[in-house]
Structure 1
Amino acid sequence: MFRKEFPRIYELRDQITSPENLNPFWKNLDDNLQNEGKRRKCLPYEDALQSLDSAAWEFIKNKADKYLTKWDDKNARGQQQLFDILNEALAYSFLKKEVGCSNIQFIPESNKGPQTPDLEGTLGHTKVTKVICEVKTINISEDEAFTRREMSLWFRPRCNQPPRELEQGFFDNKIKEKIEYAKKQIKEYAKGNETRNIVYIIINFDDMWETHKEQYFQQIDDFLSKNIIQGIEIVFHNKRTVSNEIITMENAIVFNEPEYSWDMWRAAHSAL
């Protein structure tokens, strides 16, 4: 039904050859994309996937293949493992469109030794700079996953409302730890060569409706101002919500998803 508008998402679904292996995400894809909210969430991924060159697209398809049929209904994470991989396409698109990199490629995972970063590319012509990027996704907590499994999405008791303040453990164990590990991965991969280093972070907050998202990013910004991490550029991906907040930070870069017009998107792709 929406194959022209979402060709690469449908191509991923086409990799599932047995109908009995279609999980709820893929089985109901046509119906899901008729929903404005779900369509809004899929558009940035389709846009990013379309930015991949043929080699990068094949890499993502192969990497995603074993996760296409997985569905984690037990703890309400659905197909999060798949979307963790698709988040790498968001970073690829950022390097291409925002940073201006060329020769971007995904780095194959190492079978032994230190874990490799996700992406590399180049900047410049006469003086070429190598850019290395690691993608980190921070997902909802186990407690939040339990709540979403047990509670109705439309009724959450007051005691289960998300806090306005992020816990210290979030900053220490998720933000700082992931940035430091990304820096370590890149340094080991660069082998002493001069590179531009980027960690690209996507956060799925416990706040389901993202009512406190702007406050959370401000708290993260405050934390980074007091815990400066040298040698790596920190980029946060801000997903669009109904309220469409534009996030800015002083101690990190924020890529705010563009506000997609469905009518314009559909018209452009229907003409192809």
Structure 2
Amino acid sequence: MQIRLLYQTTPMNVITYVMHKFYCLAQCAGKVTHRNDLQRVYELRDLLPDPVPPGAYFANFDETLTSYAVKKKVFLEIEEDLQGLDHDAWAFLKKELAPLLTAKDPDRGWQQLIDKLNQAKGYNHVKHLGCTDVRFIPESRMKGHRTPDIEAVDGNRAILCEVKTINLSNNEVVRFRSGGVGASADRLSEAFLGKLRSTVDGAEQQMLVYNADKRTRRIAYLVINFDDTLHEYADQYAPQLEEVAAGYLARGIEVVYDTGGGSEQLRPSSPHF
């Protein structure tokens, strides 16, 4: 009766209206569900205009979350990382992430944004070690002076953590974009190991410059995206990674590898990866 009074419509228009209302309610319900599940992810989404402009990170976000269960699973994992941050840490990281929401690289996509999000993984690792006063370190204003990402306190000594992400090789990026066929090796190449050592060297230098006290505990947290994206050869890679980690442990640097299945601190004789 209310529909007829409002619209004075034919039965077909009434049916169309009702169907449209149910569709809108379903859409709204879906959005509310996603927002409830992904509260901090949506805080990032809300930094952008509504509707999200084409080319920005969260374009068509609600629709694709509903359509692709795998995407929802990935963002639930990101949300879990972000929920581990305290209020101040989240405010800091959110501010750092804001300009990257529209900074898509033509070749490597949203790599800068994802690399920055990975800092939450390092923060949570330090927190789970039982450290206190965990916080992100603002970037130095001194030209050429790079600070580590995270500092904390462990009893009577300082903790530093630098988060680094090792991404796909240029060759793999080209192959992926061109649709070419690739093949994975069962051992890490010398080129990759060289890149790995260079990355840890950089993290070590950043931490030493920031705090040279010998009592300081220094952690290089490495998020690794192998060219072997299916991780078929992860077990075969483990001994090589352990060997690299052992060399740095002797220098006072703890190397933590995160390869997508959770982090694993690899040391000599470690049975896990």
TM-score (normalizing by structure 2):
0.78
Alignment-derived partner of residue 137 in structure 1: 165
Deviation at 1:32, TM superposition (A): 3.6
Greater shift, 140-149 or 21-30, is seen at 21-30
> Does the 8 Å contact 1:248/1:254 carry over to 2?
no
**Residue matched to 1:249:** 266
Residue 254 of structure 2 corresponds to residue 233 of structure 1: yes
Q: Distance in 2 between matches of 1:84 and 1:145?
A: 16
Q: CA deviation at 1:192?
A: 3.1
Deviations 1:176-223 (A, max 9, x none): 111122111111101436311111000011122222233223332244
Q: In structure 2, do the counterparts of structure 1 residues 38 and 251 end up closer, same or farther at CA, with 3 Å as the change threshold?
A: farther
How far 1:246 moved relative to its partner?
9.2
Contact in 1 for aligned 2:258/2:264 (Cα 8 Å): no
Structure 1 residue runs of 5 or longer lacking an equivalent are: 257-272
- Structure-2 separation of matches of 1:150 and 1:83: 22
- Rounded Cα–Cα distance in structure 1 between residues aligned with 2:206 and 2:64: 37
- CA shift in 2, pair 1:3/1:71, >3 Å: same
Whether the aligned pair in 1 keeps the contact of 2:256 and 2:265 (CA below 8 Å) is no
The reply on whether 1:17 has 2:38 as its aligned counterpart is no
1:255 Cα shift? 9.9
In proportion to residue count, which structure has more helix? 2
Q: 1:167 to 1:227 in 2, by over 3 A?
A: farther
Contact 1:22–1:69 (8 Å) recurs in 2: no
Q: What is residue 28 of structure 2 aligned with on the other side?
A: none
TM-score (norm 1): 0.79
How many residues were matched structurally?
A: 239
Deviating more after overlay: 213-222 vs 111-120: 213-222
Alignment match, 2:26 = none
- 3-state SS of paired residue (1:93): helix
- The residue aligned with 2:58 is 26
Distance, in Å, in 2 between the alignment partners of 1:185 and 1:161 is 35
Distance in 2, Cα, partners of 1:183 & 1:83: 22
Matched, 1:83 2:114: yes
- Listed as ranges, the matches of 1:153-192 within 5 Å are 157=181, 160-172=182-194, 174-192=195-213
Please give the alpha-carbon distance, in whole angstroms, between the structure 2 residues aligned to 1:19 and 1:86.
23
Q: Which runs of 5+ in 2 are unaligned?
A: 1-30
Instruction: Return the alpha-carbon distance in structure 2 between the equivalents of residues 115 and 53 of structure 1.
Output: 24
Identity of aligned residues (%): 34
Matched, 1:38 2:66: no
Q: What amino acid is the match of 2:191?
A: G
Q: Is the 8 A contact 1:110 1:116 kept in 2?
A: yes
Equivalence map 1:98-113=2 (5 Å): 99-112=129-142, 113=144
Within 5 A, what are the aligned runs for 1:140-151? 140-151=168-179
Q: Compute the displacement of 1:161 (Å).
A: 1.6
- For 1:233 and 1:206, how far apart are their aligned partners in 2? 24
Q: Partners of 1:252 and 1:181 in 2: how far apart?
A: 26
2:150 aligned partner, one-letter code: L
Q: Match of 2:123, SS?
A: helix
